[in-house]
């Protein structure tokens, strides 16, 4: 009997969790009791949720001592609760400071990223540092922290710094001190901002032009490693940086380190203009194909214009194939000067549009999608995507119903793995409406994938407001997108919401299930 009790005790320990299971009855009391809660809304059948589970558990254990609670809600059992908080897909993560103060989680789905993000959320936007000990502790509180050294009477700089901290608190930890002796010990004169980091030169100093824009730009540039590493936790940040990204593909850590040292002078010359990063060609080599490189021909180099979705692969043929500082430096200089043409991958233009759905490729994208007289609904899909395959017959049915209105509406689709498209696609299928007269502002569809709902979306959001009747289809339980091809890794309401969505889709199947589009 004692042995049985011992086994039961071990089993209980083995299944113990620091993640709190909540229901409709326990949710509100729990978030009222805890000052800060991260809640995951999930479904047991969701593959992305299963991939998140061990990371979420690890984060919960790490944050327990900081009194930051992690909870989860099974939306298949608690439908009313999930509907109350507007849950449309799984997993959805939200930060609660009480039942009515709710914001979207805007970090990556990795334990370290969750811990870092929630630690920032638990602190004031600017922490006051009173002495040398508190400063030294704060310096290492995260990989990147910013400390303002301002005089007691410098209200202007303090206020501006605080405003930047309020806006960027999800990205960085901010601290401030008015102690002149501390500033002197750090080798700066008030006013100054020092960004401390656990990489490269260790810190950077900002001492003039204290505007919100200049401080934010300083933080963005100084916090980015000279040559970083592209992966699930970093991809979204690179995509949101607003400048091109240069990839260095190599198969081993030793080769990536060697190439980093070789290309460091090139990266230093272009700092703030182009981000440089290595990428594991064994784990994420397929992404080389997305950049129009020859997969398997490593090492390799390519530049991606993240704003225009253009790719510039370094030529792998000829005598200058070697990734030397001289060769890559010349290529990058020519790119910056606008002398390198983007590489465009496209399937052949169909000789005839045979099915109800119009087939788009890169070479006819401009002619079809950008036709300013028509509302054009485009599905960006991947041939291997299970969700795309399930949608196909409904999408064809939708196209058939709109055929009588072909002068006003086009229902189209494009294989985004075989064609370069000028849109950021973070998962499959992605459906966007390019409405007549507003082609530069496509509207992304996020509803149920039914003929009726898609038709209503075209009617309500299109410029031509074409209405069809008799559309039908069954509702889906939740919205879940497939990821980019195996081995490929992937920027608030407003910008934060975009970052959150991107961050959720950057994990490759080899390490996580959320992938980016033809980025990572």
Candidates 31, 37, 46, 95; catalytic one = 46
Burial class (CB in 10 A: 0-12, 13-18, 19+), 414: buried
Structure tokens at 161: 């710094």
Q: Which of 70, 118, 385, 425 is catalytic?
A: 385
Query: Is the preceding peptide bond at 234 cis, omega within 30 degrees of 0?
Result: no
| CA–CA–CA angle 228, 230, 240 (5° rounding) | 90
Active site residue 46: yes
* Sequence-distant (≥ 6) Cβ neighbours of residue 311 within 8 angstroms: 290, 291, 292, 302, 303, 304, 305, 342, 343, 345, 420
Active site residue 49: yes
Return the exposure string of 334-357: e unless at least 16 CB atoms fall within 10 Å of the residue's CB, then b: ebeeeebebeebeeeeeeeeeeeb
Cβ contact 329:269 at 8 Å: yes
CA 160 – CA 147 distance, rounded (Å)? 13
Annotated active-site residue in 70, 108, 328, 388: 388
Q: Which of these, 455, 457, 459, 514, lies nearest to 490 by C-alpha position?
A: 514
Cis peptide leading into 191, omega within 30 of 0? Answer: yes
For the question of residue 82 being annotated catalytic, the response is: no
Which residues lie below 8 Å from residue 339, measured CB to CB, with a gap of 6+?
A: none
What are the residues whose beta carbons fall under 8 Å from the beta carbon of 1, sequence distance 6 or more? Answer: none
Task: Collect all residues with Cβ–Cβ distance below 8 Å to 10 and sequence separation of at least 6.
Answer: none
SS3 134: helix
* C-alpha 468, offset from chain centre: 36
Q: Which residues are annotated as catalytic?
A: 46, 49, 385, 388
């Amino acid at each position: 009997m004692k042995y049985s009790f011992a086994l039961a005790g071990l089993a209980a320990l083995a299944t113990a969790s620091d993640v709190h299971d909540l229901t409709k009855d326990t949710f509100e009391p729990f978030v009222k009791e805890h000052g800060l809660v991260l809640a995951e809304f999930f479904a047991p059948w969701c593959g992305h949720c299963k991939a998140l589970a061990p990371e979420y558990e690890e984060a919960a254990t790490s944050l327990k001592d900081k009194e930051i609670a992690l909870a989860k809600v099974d939306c298949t059992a608690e439908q009313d609760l999930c509907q109350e908080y507007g849950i449309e897909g799984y997993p959805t993560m939200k930060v609660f400071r009480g039942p009515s103060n709710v914001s979207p989680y805007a970090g990556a789905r990795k334990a370290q990223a969750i811990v870092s993000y929630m630690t920032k959320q638990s602190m004031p936007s600017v922490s006051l540092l009173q002495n040398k000990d508190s400063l030294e502790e704060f310096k290492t509180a995260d990989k990147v922290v910013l400390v303002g050294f301002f005089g007691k009477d410098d209200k202007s700089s303090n206020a501006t710094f605080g405003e930047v901290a309020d806006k960027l608190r999800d990205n960085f930890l901010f601290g401030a001190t008015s102690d002149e002796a501390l500033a002197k010990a750090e080798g700066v004169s008030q006013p100054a901002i020092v960004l401390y980091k656990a990489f490269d030169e260790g810190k950077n100093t900002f001492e003039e032009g204290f505007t919100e824009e200049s401080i934010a730009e300083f933080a963005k540039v100084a916090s980015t490693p000279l040559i970083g590493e592209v992966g699930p936790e970093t991809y979204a940040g690179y995509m949101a940086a607003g400048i091109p990204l240069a990839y260095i593909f190599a198969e081993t850590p030793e080769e990536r380190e060697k190439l980093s040292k070789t290309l460091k002078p090139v990266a230093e010359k272009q700092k703030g203009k182009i981000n440089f990063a290595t990428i594991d060609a064994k784990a994420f080599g397929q992404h080389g194909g997305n950049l129009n490189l020859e997969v398997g021909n490593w090492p390799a180099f390519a530049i991606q214009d993240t704003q225009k979705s253009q790719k510039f692969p370094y030529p792998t043929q000829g005598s200058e194939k070697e990734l030397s500082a001289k060769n890559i430096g010349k290529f990058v200089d020519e790119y910056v000067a606008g002398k390198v043409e983007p590489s465009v991958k496209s399937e052949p233009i169909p000789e005839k549009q045979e099915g109800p759905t119009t087939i788009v490729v890169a070479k006819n994208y401009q002619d079809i999608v950008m036709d300013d007289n028509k509302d054009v609904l485009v599905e960006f899909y991947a041939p291997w995507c299970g969700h795309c395959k399930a949608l196909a017959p409904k999408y064809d049915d939708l196209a058939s119903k709109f055929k009588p209105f072909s002068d006003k509406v086009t229902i189209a689709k494009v294989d985004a793995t075989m064609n370069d498209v000028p849109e950021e696609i973070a998962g499959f299928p992605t459906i966007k409406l390019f409405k007549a007269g507003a082609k530069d502002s496509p509207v992304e569809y996020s509803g149920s994938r039914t003929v009726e709902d898609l038709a209503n979306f075209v009617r309500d959001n299109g410029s031509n407001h074409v209405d069809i009747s008799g559309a039908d289809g069954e509702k889906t339980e939740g919205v879940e997108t497939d990821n980019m091809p195996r081995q490929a890794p992937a920027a608030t309401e407003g910008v934060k919401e975009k970052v959150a969505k991107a961050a959720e889709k950057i994990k490759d199947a080899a390490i996580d299930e959320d992938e980016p589009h033809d980025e990572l």
